[in-house]
Amino acid sequence: MNGIIDHFWHWVDQTPEQPFITEDSQRYSYRRFGGLVSTLAFRIAAEGVSHGDRVVLYLDKKHLHVAAYLANLTLGTITVHLYPEHPSSHVAFAASHTGAKLIVTTRSDLTIQGVKTLLLSDEIEDTQAIRPQLRPHPTAYLMFTSGTTSTPKAVITTQENLLFVTRTLIGLAGMKPGDHELIFMPLGSTGGSGHLHAAIVLGNAIELLPWFMADIKDRELEMMLDTIAQKQITGLLVTPRIVHGLLGRHRDALVKKGQGLRYMLANVTPMKQETIQSLLQLLPNLRFCTYYGLTEASRSVLNICRESPGYEQATGFPAPSVEVKIAPCADTPQLGEICIRGENVTSGYWNGEGAAVDQEGWFHSGDLGYFDETGRLFVTGRIKETISIDGLKCMPGEIESVINAQEGVDTCAVVPIPDSESYHRIGAAVTLKAPHPDERLKNRIATGLIDACRKRLSAYKVPAAIYILDQFPLTDLGKIKRLELAELLAGSDRGYPKS
């Protein structure tokens, strides 16, 4: 089969009554969902878009996002994936940047000048439609980089990229036909869409949870665990924040309701070693994996944590048929830039927005890391996050690993704060496991964290103060917005300890 869309229509023909997607009260077999995809393909085509035209998806309902995406793959129109959490200003930017001809949305109040809008209701007539002729385009979709450290770029993902990465994911998780996947991540992300692709290749069923990432609190975690138990979910993709929540406030329920899980993956690396070890101990049959990659080079480095005792927090080994090397950096001689080459690497950015790879085919990630003596990769941070203190260099990860290991710390993030005398000073922010500490406790915690840094780090790497926050500024996928955090700390006088 030539692509993901061929796999989908294969299952529509071969296992039409096999359950495919459920979201709230909407339940679709492969046959019924094929009718929905056909209906949307005809509606999109009726808006005057042609093969190779870009179509923005901005949809609250996940099953509609899937259907519109598969309709675009069928027509050969190129999906521009967006999260529903994005503001309308980002939709306008994405449409303008990619020259989109159409926006498919559920937002009745959305108006983007110069671009047609196809408004979908929550329920669409799903009687069987005549399937359009398959006309796949070499480009499967465009997806924007997270923009945590720069302006987002539209990354091109080809059909070949897509199948290669999907096979990598299936092998990593040990997925097999008959698995039942739960997806709560945005389908406009490589994480959420990646697990969708894997389920389609295998002809499996998917349970979609209709939440925005920012809305996932204790109630949603309880509902997630209920769904895992009731629907006999065998696998899912999580984030470190979700794992922390499950292990903390919902530990007993996780043990009771999660024993049927065969695999769980986290698309953010690294994670705390103690967190991973605790999860593996509670669910002894669970295959827990972490992976490293970027929108430009998804799932490049893999770690099957149960098979890596003592190295659970490592980034891992390069994926099969993917090459990874470390390019020396003058400013950080002990580390280097992570470079990736393989069929998972993008063919480029839309509009030729900078070179994606060098002349030898290497993608320069902008991330710093090193290989240890076992051949495992460790990612330590972004080059742009390097902290320069009066000519001396350090990486946030060095300091974060020390602080994260201390009792009472939930999460630590270290960022460079501009300083007129030393160029940078260290901004060390933490969130705590115990809520609402008083001033006395904050002082004691901060003093202990600084003392721990003094024992383990060079003197210039020791933070002068610890900033204790209720929460970090986060992207839609839960990544820390480091530029925003640096600005917050630069204007703050809330550092501890206080005299």
Confidence at residue 367, expressed as pLDDT on a 0 to 100 scale:
87
Q: What pLDDT score does 436 carry? A: 74
pTM score, whole prediction: 0.84
User: Domains of the chain, with CATH numbers?
Assistant: 4-370 (3.40.50.12780), 386-496 (3.30.300.30)
**Strands of 82-225, DSSP E:** 102-105, 116-119, 139-144, 154-158, 180-183, 205-208
**Concatenated DSSP letters of 340-407:** EESTTB-S-BGGG-S-SS-TTS-EEEEEEEEE-TTS-EEEEEEGGG-EEETTEEE-HHHHHHHHHTST
Cβ atoms of 489 and 472 closer than 8 Å: no
What is the distance, to the nearest Å, from the Cα of residue 280 to the centroid of all Cα atoms in its chain?
22
Q: What is the mean pLDDT of the chain?
A: 90
Give the pLDDT of residue 52: 96
Mean pLDDT in order along the chain per 10 residues (499 residues) = 89 96 93 94 94 96 96 97 88 95 94 92 68 88 75 91 97 97 92 96 96 84 96 94 89 96 84 90 96 93 95 94 91 82 94 82 91 92 77 80 90 86 83 84 92 88 90 78 87 80
β-strand partners of 389: 392, 423
- What is the residue-wise DSSP string for 177-190? TT-EEEE-S-TTSH
Angle at CA of residue 302, ends 406 and 209, nearest 5°: 80
pLDDT at 477: 66
- Token pair for 242: 């979700």
Prior bond to 284 cis, omega within 30?
Answer: no
Distance CA 412, CA 414 (A): 7
Please give the pLDDT value at position 126: 61
Give the residue from 435, 402, 399, 429 showing the smallest Cα distance to 413: 429
Reported as type and span, the H/E element at residue 411 is strand 409-419
Kindly report, residue by residue over 142-188, the tens digit of the pLDDT.
Answer: 999 875 555 788 999 999 999 999 999 999 999 999 999 999 988 98
Write down the H helix ranges in 136-217.
159-173, 190-202
Distance (Å, whole) CA 482 – CA 384: 10
Q: Output Rg (C-alpha) for the chain, integer angstroms.
A: 23
pLDDT at 86: 82
- 3-class DSSP state for residue 485? helix
Q: Are 461 and 453 in contact (CB under 8 A)?
A: yes
In the prediction, which pLDDT does 351 show? 83
pLDDT of residue 434: 79
pLDDT of residue 211: 84
* Coil/strand/helix, residue 222: helix
Pairing of the two strands 263-266 and 287-294: parallel
Please state, in angstroms and rounded to a whole number, the distance separating the CA atoms of residues 193 and 198. 9
